Amino acid sequence: MLSKLTKELQEHSSPEKIEIYQRFFKTGKGEYGEGDIFIGLTMPEQRKIAKNYETLSLSQIQRLLNSKIHEHRMSAGIILVNKFKKGNEKEKEEIFNFYIKNAKKFNNWDLVDVTCTHIVGGFLLDKKRKTLYDLAKSKNLWEQRISIVSTYAFIRQKDFGDALTIFESLLPHKHDLIHKAIGWMLREIGKKDEAVLKDFLKTKYNKLPRTTLRYSIERFPEGERKEWLKGSPKNL
């Protein structure tokens, strides 16, 4: 069944998209996605195909995650999310542990963003969240991004405490993908409680990367955005 999946993915590949994706996902020398290989499938195509392979075992999914081909790893992630959503508590725990063990395999931002909120955030909703703090302290960029984006599951429930603590710990980070992820999640907090967002921005203003600030205030009125960007949060 695994070979059938990889064959089907290959049959839907698009040579025209390969170069576009490799450029978009920064696969060049020294870039964050260096060496990643694409065969050129869209996300809707991958989701449609993966839906038919939800019975793959974790050992088969492991082989997909070990692949150098991006769409193989994405398909593995989509299948894991689908299995997690349908699983009982024991199955969800097994998938969560499997995901954490393989966290470094989700080694581009789309692989992280499509999967971690559902599996990591979803599993930890009603549990202790030490795993997220461990991921945040990792030296691995993708594990750090997982620690941020997984909090989306909590944010949706208006549970902001762990998210804000993790965000603050990663504000000094040098990578733009971390700055963007924090800004994105702060923006989501603002959708639920704008006062919480503004309080965080005011108290951490001098530590905020510019990209994080821009992302977090995207929904503010234009005049207010300009005030934040020119460094006048105390007047807001």
Provide the CA 225 distance to its chain's centre, in angstroms. Answer: 26
Alpha helices in the chain (DSSP H): 2-11, 15-24, 43-50, 58-65, 70-86, 89-101, 109-116, 122-124, 130-137, 141-149, 152-155, 161-170, 176-192, 194-203, 210-216, 222-229
Q: Mean pLDDT across the stretch 158-174?
A: 97
| pLDDT confidence bin for 231, thresholds 50/70/90 | confident
Cα separation, 105 vs 99, whole angstroms: 9
- Tell me: the pLDDT tens digits for 31-86? 999 999 999 999 999 999 999 999 999 999 999 999 999 999 999 999 999 999 99
pLDDT above 70: residue 233? no
Inform me whether the pLDDT recorded for 234 exceeds 80.
no
Average pLDDT over residues 192-209: 95
C-beta separation of 205 from 212 below 8 A = no
**0.75 exceeded by the pTM?**
yes
At 77 the pLDDT is 98
Q: What is the pLDDT, as a whole number, of residue 232?
A: 60
The Cα–Cα gap between 234 and 236 comes to 5
End-to-end C-alpha distance for the chain, whole angstroms: 58
Report whether pLDDT(235) > 60. no
Residue 46: per-residue pLDDT: 95
For 16-29, b/e burial (b = at least 16 CB within 10 A) is: eeeeebbeebebee
Q: Is 138 left (phi over 0), alpha (psi -120 to 50) or beta?
A: beta
CA atoms within 13 A on the CB side of 202: 10
**pLDDT tens profile 105-141:** 999 999 999 999 999 999 999 999 999 999 999 999 9
